[in-house]
């Protein structure tokens, strides 16, 4: 099982569709699974009709997913963007700033890093360096 992390804390997975691997996706796919080595430019012209994209984080030390999220948002993707895998609570604010709407973690990670650790970082809009400079 997995746990979905949002700005309000832990939640069950509200997504009822089926994710399709990028290399197996047809034009009618509405939910894509992207590996961490995906070049977002390869999705140019393929985002119409896609409602949800899930980006894999194989390790907390692999930050390529943050770049993928940012580039997808700059390309105009407005659907649900989910980080999946080994994202840790300390990275939650960065994930949100990069463009992710939510994070999918394992039950095991949720036990090691309980909900209060994630909620501590949920006020990601007011604790960035730009807000501190403006303050």
pLDDT in tens, 22-79: 888 887 889 999 999 999 999 988 899 999 999 999 998 999 999 999 999 999 999 9
Check residue 45 and give left, alpha or beta (phi > 0: left; psi -120 to 50: alpha).
left
Which two three-digit tokens encode residue 49? 């009709």
What fold, for 2-120? TIM Barrel (3.20.20)
Pairing of strands 80-85, 9-11: unpaired
How does residue 125 score in pLDDT terms, banded at 50, 70 and 90? low
How does residue 1 score in pLDDT terms, banded at 50, 70 and 90? confident
- Rounded to an integer, the average pLDDT of 98-126 is 90
């Amino acid at each position: 099982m997995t746990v979905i992390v949002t700005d309000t804390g832990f939640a069950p997975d509200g997504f009822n569709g089926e994710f399709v691997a990028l290399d197996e996706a047809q034009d009618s796919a509405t939910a894509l699974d992207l590996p961490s080595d995906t070049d977002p430019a390869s999705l140019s012209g393929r985002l119409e009709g896609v409602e949800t994209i899930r980006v894999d984080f194989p390790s907390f030390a692999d930050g390529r997913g943050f770049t993928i999220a940012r580039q997808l948002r700059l390309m105009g993707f407005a659907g649900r963007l989910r980080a999946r895998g080994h994202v840790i609570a300390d990275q939650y604010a960065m994930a949100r700033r990069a463009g992710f709407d939510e994070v999918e973690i394992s039950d095991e990670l949720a036990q090691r890093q309980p909900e209060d650790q994630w909620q501590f970082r949920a006020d990601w809009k007011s604790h960035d360096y730009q807000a501190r400079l403006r303050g």
